[in-house]
Copies of this chain bind each other. A is one copy, B any other.
C-alpha cells in the first residue's frame, strides 16, 4: 500500500458521493453510454464538489489510446523547430490531442531514448525530425512502427524509411538562391554547408558522396547549389564549400579562408542561421562589407535578418504550415486513413532584401 500521495478523488469516490454505481459515474464522466439526466446531474455535482479529474493513465490503460502525439525535434533551441512545433500543437489541440515534445539536440542516442520514452508512454503517434542517416540508424523508428505506432517524418526525409514526410523544397530553394546570386553577376559563390564530414571533400564526386551520407536536407541543399552552378556552366570549386562541424567559430574561419583566396568569393550562401551570423563576423573581420564587397543569402528568415543594415535576403520556410501539415497527416492516419508514404512538399519563399548586389569591379 503506497503512502498517501494525494492522487485526487477516483471515480469510485465520486460514485459514492453521488450515491450511484461506479459504472454510472464512469459513463457520465467518461462521456459515453446512457445515463439519466438526474443521475448525470448528481454525478457531475459530486465530481465538481470533489474536484475530480480523470486519471489519463488509467484511461489509456483500458482504452489503449492516449490522445497524445509525441514529437521529437532535432533542436528545440532552433527557432525553426520552435515554429514547427507551434504548428503541430495548434493542429493537435484543435483535434483534441495533447502533444509531448522531446528534443534530441541532434544526437542520435537521445533520439533513440526519446523514441523509447514515447513508446513507453504509449503515445498514439509520433512526428519526428530525425538525425538518422542510413539503414542501421533507423531501428528505433522501426521499433515504434512495429508496435503499430504511426510515424510521420517532418523537415527531414529519411531514405531508409518508407514513411510520409512533410518537407520543403530544399533543393529548389537552394537553387533559386544561387541563381539570384548568379543573375547578379557572381561566379565565385561560397557555400556554407552543414554536415560534419570526416574529411573535406576535394572533388565533386566526394562531395556528392558526402551529400548522400548526410541529412536529407543538407544533401538537397547541396544539390540545389550544384544545379544552379551547372545550369550557368560555372565550374565547381571545392575550395568554396565549407563542410564539417558547423559551429559559428568554424564558419568564421572557413568563410575567412574563402575571403582570403586569391580569386576570392564574392558571394556567400548559408544553409543555416548560424552560418549567416558566422559569415557576417568573418566579413567584418576581413574588413569587408555587404552587399558591395560580398553578396549574402541565408536560410531561415527572422526578425533580426530584417533589421540588419542592410537587411538580409533570406529564404523563409513555412514553419507553422510545415508543423500543421505533419500533424494533419498523422492525425488522419490515426483517424483511419491509409498512410500515403509519400513526400508532402511545401514551398519556401526567397525574401529579397538588400544583401545582394553585383560583384565588385
**Which A residues between 1 and 53 are near B, CB-CB below 8 angstroms?**
2, 5-8, 51, 53
User: Contact check: which of B64, B98, B102, B308 meets A117 at CB < 8 Å?
Assistant: B98
Task: Give the residues in chain B near A143, CB-CB below 8 Å.
Answer: 51
A146 within 8 A of B: yes
CB pair A51–B146 under 8 Å, yes or no, is yes
User: Contact check: which of B8, B54, B116 meets A53 at CB < 8 Å?
Assistant: B116
Q: Which of A76, A85, A307 has the most CB of B within 10 A?
A: A307
Nearest to A149 among chain B residues (CB) is B6
Given contacts A147-B8, A277-B304, contact A105 B121 (CB under 8 A): no
A93, chain B: closest CB distance, angstroms: 8
CB pair A7–B122 under 8 Å, yes or no, is yes
User: Contact check: which of B116, B119, B304 meets A302 at CB < 8 Å?
Assistant: B304
Nearest to A6 among chain B residues (CB) is B148
A274 within 8 A of B: yes
- Of the listed stretches A55-63, A179-187, A215-223, chain B binds A55-63
A6 to B148, CA, bound (A): 5
Nearest to A3 among chain B residues (CB) is B64
A287 within 8 A of B: no
A303 within 8 A of B: yes
CB pair A121–B56 under 8 Å, yes or no, is yes
A257, chain B: closest CB distance, angstroms: 19
Nearest to A290 among chain B residues (CB) is B309
User: Contact check: which of B61, B82, B98, B309 meets A76 at CB < 8 Å?
Assistant: B82
Place the interface of chain A in its size category.
Answer: 35 or more
A212 within 8 A of B: no
A245 within 8 A of B: no
User: Contact check: which of B60, B76, B119 meets A86 at CB < 8 Å?
Assistant: B76
**Which A residues between 65 and 82 are near B, CB-CB below 8 angstroms?**
65-66, 76-79, 82
A33, chain B: closest CB distance, angstroms: 16
Q: Can you list 28 A-B pairs, Cβ within 8 angstroms, ordered by A?
A: A2-B63, A2-B64, A6-B148, A7-B64, A7-B122, A7-B148, A51-B146, A53-B116, A53-B120, A55-B120, A56-B117, A57-B57, A61-B61, A76-B101, A77-B83, A86-B105, A99-B102, A100-B100, A100-B101, A248-B303, A277-B303, A277-B306, A280-B307, A281-B306, A281-B307, A284-B309, A304-B304, A304-B305
**Given contacts A7-B147, A7-B148, A53-B116, could you give 17 more A-B pairs where the C-beta distance is less than 8 Å?**
A2-B63, A2-B64, A5-B64, A5-B148, A6-B146, A6-B147, A53-B119, A54-B120, A56-B117, A57-B60, A57-B61, A61-B61, A78-B82, A99-B102, A100-B101, A101-B101, A274-B303
